Chains A and B, each alone.
Chain A
Amino acid sequence: EVQLVESGGGLVKPGGSLRLSCAASAFTFSSYNMNWVRQAPGKGLECVSSISSRGTYIYYADSVKGRFTISRDNDKNSLYLQMNSLRAEDTAIYYCARVGMTTMTLTDYWYFDLWGRGTLVTVSS
């Protein structure tokens, strides 16, 4: 089955660290750009980090820049998010999401076509 499965969430104190993982299965992981998207309790969606298929291009939202590090291991079909110096406002469900693309009339259209079920990160003393 084509799927993404996140792990590594949990309860951590402010200033602490966590490493999230996302395991991909049944598709060619190395061909896809990937993202981490978070959703704070009762709030909307925020793309916090993106990485290109080979890891050569990386993006971070200003809210996590300097504290979070995205990486991937294409041999292990896995995506990671190292989160340091965690703050209460980082409390959220963290989803990994695959970037799909369709070409129509010579134009590329991009979207997040596959999502994991998410892993909950709670930052609290």
Chain B
Amino acid sequence: EIVMTQSPATLSVSPGERATLSCRASQIVNTNLAWYQQKPGRAPRLLIYGASSRATGVPARFSGSGSGTEFTLTISSLQSEDFAVYYCQQYNDWPPWTFGQGTKVEIK
């Protein structure tokens, strides 16, 4: 089973600043990686698939990059609605679909 490791666990950022979240896979997953956003009390929401393609309706301030085992989600200028927990997920080798443990983006 591929293990996904996210860092940092918590990221404190001021509104308007850039946030950079990392995700590492224990094996090569090519670009078979997705990112999700989850707000308190809500279901996860798909942000990015194929490591860098934005899902429908996702603002351009969200971007994904990486391939192989190292991936990054960047939020270029944090808005108030972006404070949430973010998960990466691999689907190169499934089942199972495996998620990272999440990065919480909080207001600094």
Contacts and interface: CB of A to CB of B under 8 A. Distances in A.
B106 to A, nearest CB: 15
A79 to B, nearest CB: 15
Given A44-B87, A102-B53, A115-B44, 7 more contacts: A47-B99, A109-B91, A111-B89, A112-B36, A112-B44, A112-B46, A112-B97
Contacts, number: 66
A109 B97 contact: no
Interface of A: 35, 44-47, 50, 59, 61, 95, 100, 102, 104, 107, 109-113, 115-118
A115 B43 contact: yes
Nearest to A109: B50
B97 A118 contact: no
B43 A111 contact: no
B59 interface: no
Contacts of A50: 94-97
8 contacts: A45-B44, A45-B89, A47-B97, A50-B95, A50-B96, A102-B53, A109-B49, A111-B91
Nearest to A96: B43
A115 B45 contact: yes
Contacts of B99: 44-47
